[in-house]
């Protein structure tokens, strides 16, 4: 089951490979936001009759990297203005380059017309300045990054936590064990080095003393699919689910992937010949997306409070 109401990208590609705004699809989020506003009005009309139920904002997930340096600054500005113009949607923006947030938004600010630096400045530019310069993020924008390995987690997550956002999420396609509760920026955890628990939002020094920092609010786990898919070790998925559960962080297992690795453990001490035996499995669902095929403890699909 897909946790997103809409999966949408603003970018199109010319024949020479350059990225441009696809004008044809830019109107879609405006239509979705208008529909969501109508649902709010209907809910308010029902308030007096006692049938009021607060409508949930639709979730729009953009898998295209919104901080991609190949995207011209004026095109990124056009996309950000669209986000400003759709306050009835919750936006989930993905990037594999969270360290470029300041650089890319600075490029957007400098791409704006000079005549906007005054009374004629559009309202959405003030909105952008509040976010970028004053670190007052929009209430409907979550920012996330995708990771596969511990090295990517150590590199990308600390940069992600420095971005002002209403919430932060991870798309994890595990290619090995990933520890989100004991990690650091720049490589393996060394003796005497501070370590980060990104699920609880705590940084600990070598003496175990901790200070608060920003945290991850949602973890989506999704195994690879397709002809070149990397196999997914079910134990690596289980480890991530347990980490989220112990930290009280919402977790959503989207799919296990088209190729699975299951570690078989002995039922008795004398069954030592099968100890740690690895078995390759191919699920019936082409993407491993049928929870009925999964172990019961992996059938976890929870939205964070801010997206319900």
CA distance 94 to 99: 13
Q: Is the pLDDT of residue 163 over 50?
A: yes
Give phi and psi for 279, each to the nearest 5. -120, 130
| Whole-model pTM over 0.75 | yes
Q: Is the pLDDT of residue 52 over 50?
A: no
211 token code pair: 């200070």
Which pLDDT value is given to residue 264? 63
Q: Is the pLDDT of residue 271 over 50?
A: no
Kindly indicate the confidence band of residue 56, based on its pLDDT and cuts at 50, 70 and 90. low
The span from the first CA to the last CA of the chain, in angstroms, equals 16
Give phi and psi for 70, each to the nearest 5. -75, -20
CA distance 155 to 186: 6
Which pLDDT value is given to residue 268? 46
Least confident interval from 35-44, 65-74, 224-233, 297-306: 35-44
What does the pLDDT average to over 100-127? 89
Q: Is the pLDDT of residue 92 over 90?
A: yes
Look-up of token digits 């904002």: 57
Sign of CA dihedral 182, 94, 139, 164: positive
Strands lying side by side in the sheet with 232-233: 232-233, 260-264, 277-281
Kindly indicate the confidence band of residue 1, based on its pLDDT and cuts at 50, 70 and 90. confident
DSSP-derived letter for residue 9 is -
Sign of CA dihedral 162, 167, 172, 177: positive
Neighbours of 275 (CB within 10 A): 11
88 token code pair: 């009835």
CB of 60 closer than 8 Å to CB of 28: no
Determine how β-strand 218-222 pairs with β-strand 167-172.
parallel
Our CA angle for 233, 239, 243, nearest 5°, is 155
Select the more confidently predicted residue: 198 or 205. Answer: 198
CB of 168 closer than 8 Å to CB of 220: no
Please state, for a pLDDT cut of 70, what percent of the chain lies above it: 84
> Rg of the Cα trace of the chain?
22
- Closest Cα partner for 2 from 92, 89, 68, 84? 92
Which pLDDT value is given to residue 55? 56
């Amino acid at each position: 089951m897909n946790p997103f109401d809409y999966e949408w990208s603003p970018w199109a590609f010319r024949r020479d490979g350059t990225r441009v705004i696809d004008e044809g699809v830019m109107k879609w989020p405006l239509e979705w936001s208008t529909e969501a506003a109508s649902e709010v009005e209907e809910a308010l009309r029902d308030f007096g009759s006692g049938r009021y139920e607060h409508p949930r904002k639709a979730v729009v997930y953009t898998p295209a990297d919104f901080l991609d340096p190949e995207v011209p600054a004026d095109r990124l500005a056009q996309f950000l203005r669209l986000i400003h113009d759709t306050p009835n949607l919750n936006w989930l923006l993905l990037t594999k380059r969270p360290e470029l947030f300041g650089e890319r938004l600075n490029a957007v600010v400098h791409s704006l017309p000079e005549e906007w630096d005054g009374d004629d400045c559009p309202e959405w530019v003030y909105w952008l300045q509040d976010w970028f310069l004053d670190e007052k993020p929009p209430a409907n924008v979550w920012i996330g990054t995708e990771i596969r390995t511990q090295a990517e987690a150590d590199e990308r997550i600390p940069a992600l936590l420095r971005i002002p956002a209403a919430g932060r999420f991870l798309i994890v396609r595990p290619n090995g064990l990933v520890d989100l509760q004991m990690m650091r920026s720049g490589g393996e955890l060394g003796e005497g080095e501070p370590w980060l628990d990104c699920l609880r939002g705590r940084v600990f020094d070598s003496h175990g003393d901790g200070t608060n920092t920003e945290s991850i609010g949602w973890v989506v786990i999704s195994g690879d699919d397709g002809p070149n898919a990397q196999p997914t070790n079910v134990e690596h998925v289980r480890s991530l689910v347990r980490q989220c559960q112990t930290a009280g962080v919402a977790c959503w297992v989207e799919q296990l992937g088209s190729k699975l690795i299951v570690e078989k453990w002995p039922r008795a001490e004398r069954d030592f010949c099968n100890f740690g035996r690895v078995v390759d499995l191919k699920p019936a669902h082409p993407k491993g997306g049928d929870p009925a095929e999964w172990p019961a403890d992996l059938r976890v699909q929870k939205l964070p409070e801010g997206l319900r």
